[in-house]
């Protein structure tokens, strides 16, 4: 969900890409998070400047010898950090939303009239190696991704690749760590830290304005093979905990070693929290289906109007799942009023969709 290379070497690598494509396949409660997780270790050895810089990740360490000029983002949300730091990728990877250049409306202003990136796809078999090579990248970012070791080694033939950190599950890198890692890769570490601090301050303001959130438990769910519950390392869940909400004490134990999992009908008790945030394709249709479910429909979280529904097809729904330094302020403008209505203790209060 990318060191400057000589033109002759790039031509040779592009030829190698065509060969590789022929042989490589084409895909109690937990405490609230109130401080930014620590970024991945890195070293900068250039006197008086950030380069070369080495960044550690799950497959070792990648050295970026000079300021990158042609960045490709394989990570599904990595483009937002690049844009926030003043650069525009030459290639981005489509996740959902169908936005031009895979850039959501919350990030469009960062383009500032510059060319829209080429959009790549990952259909489940991995990054599009040949298309990535054709973009002549000098840096490939694959932070919010499930990049395999084989895919990492293949892409590393074309440019330095920054893979996901070792200490988080796939697609589990916090937005703070992602932003600061991209900042170091782009030689803008101080600016990245400042951006993170600004969004963290927004979360602190919301917690101060809504102390009731700290007394409430919550979950983020979707409809996939029944009731799919996101775990503590999922970015959407971290948005809740960053606002002060707590998670069920046995959440990760129930879900296993993954970012989320479908739960059986026997574990619908897990769904009955102070607030249930649902991300669904069609709010009206899917909420009606859920409320007709004989098990879920009778839970107090339903009867007392403590649900928040986020439509996946809307810009808000896309931003809610992106969880980036650019999308979060956009989300908080819309999500916080809904959460406040859901946990106000009055079942008659309607949790209304955002105006826009």
Tokens 């009239």 found at: 113
CA dihedral 173, 179, 184, 190 (to 10 degrees): -140
Q: How far apart are CA 222 and CA 220, in angstroms?
A: 7
Q: What are the tens digits of pLDDT across the range 292-348?
A: 998 899 999 999 999 999 999 999 999 999 999 999 999 999 999 999 999 999 999
- CATH number for the domain running over 210-342: 3.40.50.1980
Q: ω before 139 within 30° of 0 (cis)?
A: no
Give pLDDT, residue 36. 55
- For 8-14, the CB contacts below 8 A with 24+ separation are 10/136, 13/133, 13/157, 13/158, 14/133, 14/134, 14/136
Q: How many residues does the chain have?
A: 356
Boundaries of every domain in the chain: 7-198, 210-342
Give pLDDT, residue 40. 58
Q: Look up the pTM and report it.
A: 0.84
236 touches 262 (CB < 8 A):
no
The structural architecture, per CATH, of the domain 7-198 is 3-Layer(aba) Sandwich (3.40)
CA dihedral 52, 195, 309, 273 (to 10 degrees): 90
Give pLDDT, residue 257. 66
The ranges of the chain with pLDDT < 50 are 1-35, 44-48
Encoded tokens for 196: 């993170």
153 touches 126 (CB < 8 A):
no
276 touches 223 (CB < 8 A):
no
User: Among 121, 126, 94, which residue's Cα sits nearest to residue 27?
Assistant: 126
For 233, residues 6+ apart whose C-beta sits below 8 A from its C-beta are 168, 169, 172, 259
């Amino acid at each position: 969900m990318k060191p400057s290379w000589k033109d002759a070497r790039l031509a040779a690598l592009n030829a190698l890409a065509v060969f590789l494509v022929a042989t490589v396949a084409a895909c109690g409660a937990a405490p609230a998070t109130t401080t930014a997780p620590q970024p991945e270790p890195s070293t900068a050895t250039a006197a008086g400047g950030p380069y070369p810089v080495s960044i550690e990740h799950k497959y070792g360490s990648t050295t970026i010898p000079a300021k990158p000029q042609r960045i490709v983002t394989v990570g599904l949300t990595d483009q937002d950090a690049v844009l926030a730091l003043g650069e525009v990728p030459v290639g981005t990877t489509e996740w959902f939303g169908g936005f031009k250049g895979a850039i959501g409306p919350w990030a469009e202003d960062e383009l500032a009239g510059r060319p829209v990136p080429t959009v790549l796809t990952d259909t489940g078999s991995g990054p599009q190696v040949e298309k990535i090579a054709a973009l002549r990248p000098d840096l490939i970012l694959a932070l919010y991704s499930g990049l395999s070791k084989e895919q990492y080694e293949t892409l590393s033939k074309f440019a330095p690749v920054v893979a996901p950190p070792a200490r988080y599950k796939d697609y589990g890198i916090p937005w703070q760590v992602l932003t600061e890692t991209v900042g170091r890769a782009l030689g803008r570490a101080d600016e990245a830290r400042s951006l993170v601090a600004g969004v963290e301050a927004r979360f602190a303001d919301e917690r101060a304005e809504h102390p009731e959130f700290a007394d409430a438990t919550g979950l983020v769910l979707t409809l996939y093979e029944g009731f799919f519950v996101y775990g503590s390392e999922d970015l959407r869940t971290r948005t809740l905990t960053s606002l002060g909400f707590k998670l069920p004490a046995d959440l990760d134990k129930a879900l296993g070693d993954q970012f989320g999992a479908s739960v059986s009908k026997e574990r619908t008790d897990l769904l009955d929290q102070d607030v249930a945030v649902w991300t669904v394709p069609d709010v009206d249709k899917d909420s009606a289906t859920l409320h007709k479910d004989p098990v879920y429909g009778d839970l107090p979280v339903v009867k007392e109007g403590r649900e928040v529904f986020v439509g996946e097809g809307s810009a808000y729904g896309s931003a809610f799942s992106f969880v980036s330094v650019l999308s979060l302020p956009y989300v908080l403008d819309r999500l916080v009023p809904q959460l406040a209505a859901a946990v106000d203790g009055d079942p008659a209060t309607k949790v209304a969709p955002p105006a826009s």
